[in-house]
Amino acid sequence: MKLVFTGRMIEWRGPSPYYFVPVPDEESADIREVAALATHGWGVIPVEARVGEVAFRTSLFPRGGGYLLPLKDAVRKPQSLSTGDDVTVALTVFL
């Protein structure tokens, strides 16, 4: 399953900050339809994502009926992404 969406990057404070792009409702609904086929457990969904020129593998985290895409420093820093920035993501869900 391939999706393209834009979301606003958020910061989640914890012992150290984490950064995510929430997957919009419509795309989250599409992912939920195939989640049972894709998950390896705990509700996380393995994906490949592309933000700008940076492609990476990670897992979507379930949150509040939707999903969060984590963005590591290796993705954010080369593109100077900050909290509140709109981020366009090309996403492939592994089935």
Number of residues that this document lists for the chain: 95
> Exposure pattern of 59-83 as b/e (b: 16+ CB <10 Å)?
bbbbeeebbbbbbeeebbeeeebee
The tens digit of pLDDT for each residue in 48-88 reads 999 999 999 999 999 999 999 999 999 999 999 999 999 99
pTM confidence score: 0.92
> In the Cβ-directed half-sphere of 72, how many Cα atoms lie within 13 Å?
10
pLDDT of residue 16: 73
The tens digit of pLDDT for each residue in 9-58 reads 999 887 777 999 999 999 999 999 999 999 877 889 999 999 999 999 99
